[in-house]
Amino acid sequence: MINIKLIAEQIMAEAGKVILGKEDRIRLIVMAIFAGGHILLDDVPGTGKTTLVKALAIALGCRSGRIQFVPDMLPSDIIGMNIYNQKTREFELRVGPVMTNILLADEINRAIPRTQSALLEAMEENQISIDGGLISLPQPFIVLATQNPVDAENTFALPAAQMDRFLIKLSLGYPSEESEKEMLKRSGDGLDFSILEPVTSPEEILTVRKELNAVKVSDLVMDYIVAIGNATRCHPQLKAGASPRAAKALYRASKSWAAMDGRDYVTPDDVKEIAVPVLAHRLVLKNTVSRSEGNEQALIRSILEEVQASPTEEEVYRSLTKE
C-alpha cells in the first residue's frame, strides 16, 4: 500500500514553491488528478495558470504541453493528422500537442464547437482518432482548461454536456497582498523552475488511482450523494440539475479526498467539502434566474444546508465495520 496522503502533501509542497497562497486550490487539483478527472479554471489572464501547470508537471514527473485556443483552430491542430511525405511518397502520422500527460488548454471557449469537441472526446475516451485509426493517449492524461469569464467577444460557451466532462471547476483568483508581495520578492525578475523536483511519477499516479478502489463508501454516504443530486433536479431555479455522471464524479472525488486525508473510508464531510467545485458548473439555471457570478455555487451551498439526511462520521464507521 502506498501512502496517498504523503504523496499529495509532497506534490502540494513542491508546487507551493512557486504558487503562493493557493494551497486550497492546489489540493483540489491534486484531488482531481488522483481521481482521474479534468479541471476547468475560470480565470482572468495573469493569475498563474501556466505557472501552475508547469509546476505540477515537474512535481508529478510528467510531460506537459499547452494549446492556445483561437477561433480559426481546427481539430487537427489538437489531435494531429497524416501528412504526405513527397520524398518517401507515404503518409506520415504527426500527432498533435494532445499527446502529453498534462495539457493546458488555454481559453478553450475561443475555439469553435467542433474543435472543442475534438479535445473533449479525447478527455472522455483517453484516445484520439486520426483517419479512422485509434491512438491511445499517454497515461495519466489530465487537461487543465481555462476560460476568461470577463472577455466574451469571439467566444463559444461550452454547452452543458461538455461542462459535465470536467470533474471540477474552480478559480485561482487574485493572490492576497501578502502573497503577491512574497511573489515579487521570489520571482519579480522571472520564475526559476529549477528549484522544483519530481516527487512522484506517472506510474505512481496510476497506482494511486488503483488504490482509490479500496476506499470504502458506505450505503449511508451513497444515500447522501444521491439525495444531493436529487435535490438539484427538483430545485425551482434550475432547468437541469446534476446528472448521474455528476453523482459518479462526486463519488469518485470524495474517495480521492478521503485518501488524501489519510482515511480508507469516505465521510459526509468529504462530500460536503468538494460538492461545490464538483457540482456547481453542471447546473443549468432557468432563464428567469439571474446569472450573477457565483449563483450556481450559492445554490449548491443552500442545497447542502437543506439536505439533512447526512449521517455522522461515527455512524458511517459503524456501518462499515458491520459489513
**Residue 306 reports pLDDT greater than 70:** yes
pLDDT for residue 187: 60
pLDDT for residue 95: 86
Question: Residue 83: is it exposed, middle or buried by C-beta count within 10 angstroms (0-12/13-18/19+)?
Answer: exposed
**Residue 21 reports pLDDT greater than 90:** no
The helix (run of H) or strand (run of E) holding residue 268 is helix 268-279
Query: Does residue 235 share a domain with residue 144?
Result: no
- Given 152, 187, 207, the domain boundary residue is 207
What CATH number did the domain enclosing 271 receive?
1.10.8.80
Query: Does residue 236 share a domain with residue 113?
Result: no
Query: Does residue 133 share a domain with residue 265?
Result: no
The domain total for the chain is 2
Question: Residue 59: is it exposed, middle or buried by C-beta count within 10 angstroms (0-12/13-18/19+)?
Answer: buried
- Given 207, 238, 254, the domain boundary residue is 207
pLDDT for residue 118: 86
What CATH number did the domain enclosing 91 receive?
3.40.50.300
Over residues 46-105, the pLDDT tens digits come to 667 788 888 899 999 999 999 999 889 998 999 988 887 788 878 788 888 999 999 999
**Residue 45 reports pLDDT greater than 80:** no
**∠ CA(71), CA(78), CA(139), 5° rounding?**
140
Residue 322 confidence class, pLDDT cut points 50, 70, 90: low
Query: Does residue 137 share a domain with residue 93?
Result: yes
* Residues 50, 288: Cα–Cα separation, whole Å: 37
Query: Does residue 249 share a domain with residue 145?
Result: no
| Structural domain span for residue 61 | 4-207
Query: Does residue 124 share a domain with residue 74?
Result: yes
pLDDT for residue 289: 59
* Residues 142, 135: Cα–Cα separation, whole Å: 16
Query: Does residue 232 share a domain with residue 187?
Result: no
pLDDT for residue 189: 53
DSSP classification of residue 125: H
Query: Does residue 137 share a domain with residue 26?
Result: yes
Give mean pLDDT, residues 272-288.
Answer: 89
Range with lowest mean pLDDT among 32-41, 114-123, 204-213, 250-259: 114-123
Over residues 151-207, the pLDDT tens digits come to 656 678 888 878 889 999 998 777 778 877 777 776 655 667 788 899 999 999 999
Over residues 113-139, the pLDDT tens digits come to 888 888 888 898 999 988 878 889 999
- In sequence order, the 6+-apart residues with CB closer than 8 A to the CB of 182 are 20, 21
Mean pLDDT of the chain: 86
Q: What's the predicted TM-score (pTM) here?
A: 0.89
Cell 446534476 belongs to residue: 242
- Given 207, 229, 252, the domain boundary residue is 207
Query: Does residue 150 share a domain with residue 9?
Result: yes
**Residue 276 reports pLDDT greater than 70:** yes
Query: Does residue 243 share a domain with residue 196?
Result: no
pLDDT for residue 309: 60
